[in-house]
Structure formats: structure tokens, C-alpha cells
Amino acid sequence: MTSTRENLLFRLFKDYYKFFYIENQIALIEGRNYEIIYIFYDTLSTIRSKDTTSSQWMEKLNKLTQIVDDFVSCSFAMYPFLQKSDETFNPNKNIIIKSFNDNVSDIFDQFYITYSRVSTYKQSMIVEELLIEFNNFLSHFTRYILDQDLSSGVTHLYRGCLDGYKDIVLENTTMLLSDIDMRDKFIDLRVQECDNIGLKEENKLFILEIYKQITEDILSLYQCHE
Amino acid sequence: MEIKLKLMDESITSKYKPYKSKDGVISSCSLSARAAKGSVVGAKKKYSKKHQELFKNFLEI
């Protein structure tokens, strides 16, 4: 098997299918496994980045596979009554790539920016609510590449971005209201959100762009006050 | 014909880096707006110690 990004993306979703099938059965007992979901996020970001090398992709993916296999065997050891999947995960690789490029890549880029910003702001690698949305996206998208009549799940990535940015705004409302330009930009954004309710997420990326600018402004003021 | 994966632009990946603790301590947070509502967050994971080790190992790549 070659180590092209296409094959790695296929492997990532295959590992996710294996992980999700078991994790979903025990999530309400054990709590969500944010560590492994983060590793999926980190691995997908690495595979998509132009800055990384093929050896880094392979190393991360091999570790991911090892962690998922270990998770599955630990889960069955603790809960022998869990159900195994009787479905073989074998979608067309070209469908994965085309679906990802057509439906996901732009929103994933926004999600990456949001996650990085919130993670740095909170000084926390694991941002649980964003990872919940990322996990929801992965589960929908994994079903979608098996059955294209279903939803691709990108709405969860969009929701995650909004949650992350809005959390930074919520924690800094006093600062936001004290700056007239920022305040007016924010109120205008809220009006635009209201006006564009119901549009598809790919047509609302400009909303995320404005949130990105506003949180940038907030964080730069933050640094001025430190 | 092979379909190429459209890649994340360098201007994004070079500018925005997720937070990575210098001392390797893994931290977790909930967003304030939803944390108040309560969630499944915080349930104990019986396999967490082994996974923490694997996780730290993963971050060293």
C-alpha cells in the first residue's frame, strides 16, 4: 500500500469506524473518550497540512491504529457483552476524497482555525465541546461515505466553530462593549446571523470569518491589557 | 483518474497552531456556555492511565 494522503484518509476513516462502533456503546457509561477523539482530529489535521512530511503522516496514523486497537480490546475485556460490527468498512476511496473535498475541506479549515484559537485561549489541548462536534461530524461523514443519501455532517463542524468563538465573546463582553468599532461590528454580525438563518453551512462561512476577526480583536486587546 | 486531496493552505497551518503544553501535561476544558448545563464530561475512564501514556507518546511525534 502506498503512503499517499488519499490512502491515509481511507485508513483514518476505517480506524474511526472501528473506534466509533465500540465507543458509542460505552460512551454513556465511561464518558466520551476525548483523548482518542483529539488524536483523530490531530491526525486529520496533519494529513491535510502541506507543512507535514509523509513520515509524520505514517507515524501518526500507525500510532492512531495502535491506540484504537488497544481501546477496542480494552473495551471488550471490560464489557464482554458489547456488540461487534458485522459490516465491512470498504467504501470507494475516490468517493471519500471527492466527498471530503466537495463538502468538508473548507469548513474543516475553519474548524482548525477555531480549535487552535480556543485551545490557545483556554490553554487546553482538549476542548471538549468542540471535540464532541468533531466526533459528531466524523460519525455522520463515516456513514455518509457508505451511503451518500445521508447527511455529510458538516453542520457539526460549523456548530463547533460557532461555539468556540461565541465562548470567547461571552467571556469578554465588557471588553467588547467598551470598544465602539468592535461593538458595532458584533451587533452587525448578530443581525447577519439572524438574516441568514436556514442557509446551508457552506454558504455561511463568511459568518465564521467575521467571528474570527472579532475574536482576534478581543485577544489583541487582551494582550494590550496584560 | 485519481482524485487529489485538497490540502489545507500553509497560511492557515503556519499561523494557527493548537495549544501544546510544554511540560506534556494534558489539560481538558469545557466551554463556559455549555458547561453550566452539565454533560457526560467527567465520567471516570478505567482505561485512562494506559491511554494517557499512549497519548503522551503520540504527542511526541
**Residue B42 pLDDT > 70:** no
Alpha-carbon distance of A139 to A18, in angstroms, equals 11
pLDDT at B3 (0 to 100):
73
Chain A residues in contact with B5 (beta carbon < 8 A): 5-6, 9, 47-48, 97, 100-101
Phi-psi region of A86 (alpha: psi -120 to 50; beta: other; left: phi over 0): alpha
Q: Does residue B11 sit at the A interface (CB-CB below 8 Å)?
A: no
Mean pLDDT, rounded, of chain A: 90
Q: What is the pLDDT of residues A13-71, one digit of tens each?
A: 999 999 999 999 998 888 888 889 999 999 999 998 888 888 888 999 999 999 999 99
> What is the pTM (predicted TM-score) of this model?
0.88
Q: What are the respective helix, strand and coil percentages of chain B, to the nearest 5?
A: 35, 5, 60
Chain B residues in contact with A130 (beta carbon < 8 A): 31
pLDDT at A28 (0 to 100):
85
A215 near A169, Cβ under 8 Å?
yes
B25-44 residues touching A, CB cutoff 8 A: 26-34, 39-44
User: Which of these ranges, A86-95, A119-128, A162-171, has the smallest mean pLDDT?
Assistant: A86-95
- A172 secondary structure, DSSP code: T
The answer to whether the Cα torsion of A21, A146, A34, A66 is positive or negative is: positive
Q: What is the pLDDT of residues B2-37, one digit of tens each?
A: 677 888 888 888 888 888 776 666 778 888 744 444
Chain B residues in contact with A127 (beta carbon < 8 A): 29, 31
Nearest to B3 among A48, A94, A122 (CB): A94
pLDDT at A151 (0 to 100):
81
* pLDDT > 70: percent of chain A: 97
**Residue A179 pLDDT > 80:** yes
Q: Report CB contact under 8 Å: A50, B19.
A: no
Domain boundaries, chain A: 1-88, 91-128+151-226
Alpha-carbon distance of A172 to A51, in angstroms, equals 33
Q: Report CB contact under 8 Å: A30, B45.
A: yes
In terms of CA atoms, which chain A residue is nearest residue B32? A167
CA distances from A55 to A11, A46, A58, A59, A221 (A): 15, 11, 5, 6, 40
Give the DSSP per-residue string, A126-155.
EEHHHHHHHHHHHHHHHHHHH-TTS---HH
